[in-house]
Amino acid sequence: MGWNIKKLPVMENGVDFFVDTNVLIYAMEGHRSIADMLLCSPGISVISEIELLGKKGITQYEINDIRNLLNGFEIVDLNDIIKEIAISIKQKYSIKTFDAIIAATAKAFNLPLVTADKDFKKIADVDIVLLNL
């Protein structure tokens, strides 16, 4: 791809993988195996935070639950490196913008992305771990 690997960021908090928004949703719905996996405090894209908290009609109770879930996770903001990788992924694989940014975030740190969304499997440039739920 066209990005400079030498400029890629490094995770400093021991994050070994990233999770997609749907993994967080399944955990909040009570899927025990996913909740256990999240005890490892994986990284997430700021996009997942926006998707979870940006739900129309969200209650303060739900906001508090989501913030409690996200507390302690490494939440990665969008930066120039992630933006360029996301553009490349979106052009090559024709996926939704938010999905491209989430995948690019994992790629920027050379870490796997855990998801239940089969659309991510077509992204050969990212190590995708597809959950069967």
Q: What is the pLDDT of residues 19-55, one digit of tens each?
A: 999 999 999 998 888 878 888 879 999 999 999 999 9
**Exposed/middle/buried for 60, CB within 10 Å: 0-12, 13-18, 19+?**
exposed
Q: In which band, very low, low, confident or very high, does the pLDDT at 12 lie, cut at 50, 70 and 90?
A: low
> 3-state secondary structure string, 42-79?
CEEEHHHHHHHHCCCCCCHHHHHHHHHHHCCCEEECCC
Domain annotation for the chain: domains and CATH numbers: 15-130 (3.40.50.1010)
Q: What is the pLDDT of residues 49-83, one digit of tens each?
A: 999 999 999 999 999 999 999 997 999 999 999 99
Rounded to whole angstroms, how far apart are CA atoms 58 and 130?
A: 28
